Amino acid sequence: MQIDQNAGHGDVELVPPSPEIAGLQPLTTIKSRWPAILGALVTVAMLAGLGHELFSSGLAGLNRATPRNPVFYIAFVGLYLTPPLADYVIFRRLWGIPLAGLVALIKKRIANDVVMGYSGEAYFYAWARQRTRLVAAPFGAVKDVSILSAIAGNAVTLTMIAVALPAGRDLIPPEMMRYVYGSLAVIFGTSLPFLIFSRKVFSLPRAQLWAVFGVHCVRLILGTGFLALAWASAMPEVAIGTWLFLSAGRLLFSRLPLLPNKDLLFANFAILMIGEDQALSELIAFTAAAVLLVHAVLIVGFGVHHLATRRR
C-alpha cells in the first residue's frame, strides 16, 4: 500500500497499489501450507506406488537375464534422464530455476510413472508455489508445458504411425486394427481444440510456446533413440534399425488410448518382428524393472538428503 501525503486534515490515506506494482509484490497467499501438504501427499503416494510395482512384478523383472554390455546402461541413463533434463531446459528458460530444480523434476517424472497421470505436474506446481522468487503465478506455465507435452507426443506418434503402420500392419491382429484407427481419431481429436483455441488456452507468448514444443519433440526423439540403442546393445544380433522401429512402436502403443493390454500387445508385436520371444520378453521386463529400481533408489536418496539437510 502507498501513503497519500496530499490527504487533508493531517489524515493518512492508504492508496491501493497500481496493478503493475501489485503484480510484482510477493504473493501473501503463499504463506498457506497447502503446497507443502500437497507435496508430502504426492511423495507418500510415490512411495506406495513404487512399493506396489516393485513387489508385484518389478523384482521378478530384475531376475531376468541381465545385459552385460556397458553400452546398455549408458543408453539407459540417457533414456531415464532425458524427460527431466528436457523439463529443466524448459523451466530454466521460462523461470531461470536453479540446478536444484532438477530434483523436483525427477520427482515429477516418478509421480507420473507410479501414481497417476499429471500427479507429477501437481507436485511440481506445489514446489514452484513454495518459491515465489522464481515466479509469482506458476500455474499458467505448468499448464502450457503439460499441454504442449501431450500435443508433441501426439504429433510424434502420428508421424511414427504414418511411417510404421504400412510396414507393421500385417503384424497387428485384424480385430485390433479398429482400436488402432479409433485411437488415431482420439489422438487427433484431442489435439485439435488446443490448436484452434490456442489464444484462449495458452498463457505463454507464442515464441516460448514454439520453443517448449521443440524441446518436447527433441525429448521424444532422443528417448526413442536411447531405447533403441539400449536394446540393440543387449541383443546385437538384431539390427539397430529394427530396434528403432520397435522403440517407435512402443511410443505409439503407449499413446493409443483405446487399446486394451498395451504392454502385452506391444510385446507380441515385437516378438512377431524379431522372434526370440524368451530373450525379448526378458529384455523388456528387465528394462521396465530397472526404471522402477532407479525410481526407488532416487526417492530414498532424496528423502535421506532432505532429512540430513534439515538437521543441519
Span 174-196, pLDDT tens digits: 666 666 677 777 777 878 888 88
Residue 212 has pLDDT above 50, yes or no: yes
3-state secondary structure 34-97: HHHHHHHHHHHHHHHHHHHHHHHHHHHHHCCCCCCCHHHHHHHHHHHHHHHHHHHHHHHHHHCC
Q: Mean of the pLDDT values across residues 259-269? A: 65
**pLDDT digit string (tens) for 231-253?**
899 888 887 877 877 887 788 77
Coil, helix or strand at residue 2: strand
Asked if pLDDT for residue 11 goes beyond 60, the answer is no
Mean pLDDT of the chain: 76
Residue 15, classed as helix, strand or coil, is strand
Please give the single-letter amino acid code of residue 189: G
Predicted local distance difference test score (pLDDT) of residue 36: 62
Domain regions of the chain by residue span? 34-311
221-225: long-range pairs with CB below 8 Å, 24+:
221/156, 222/78, 222/82, 223/79, 223/82, 223/83, 223/251, 224/248, 224/251
Is the distance from CB of 75 to CB of 247 less than 8 angstroms? no
* Three-class SS state of 3: strand
> Is residue 56 scored above 80 in pLDDT?
no
pLDDT beyond 70 at 62 = no
Q: How far apart are CA 182 and CA 225, in angstroms?
A: 27
Q: Could you report the per-residue pLDDT of 15-42, keeping only the tens digit for each?
A: 554 444 344 344 444 445 656 666 567 6
* Most confident among 11-15, 49-53, 209-213 (mean pLDDT): 209-213
Digit-coded pLDDT (tens) for 78-127 = 999 999 999 999 999 999 888 889 999 999 998 888 777 778 888 888 88
Mean pLDDT across the stretch 199-215? 92
Categorize the per-residue pLDDT at 70 as very low, low, confident or very high, splitting at 50, 70 and 90.
very high
- Asked if 151 and 172 count as a contact pair (C-beta separation under 8 A), the reply is no
pTM, whole model, 2 decimals?
0.75
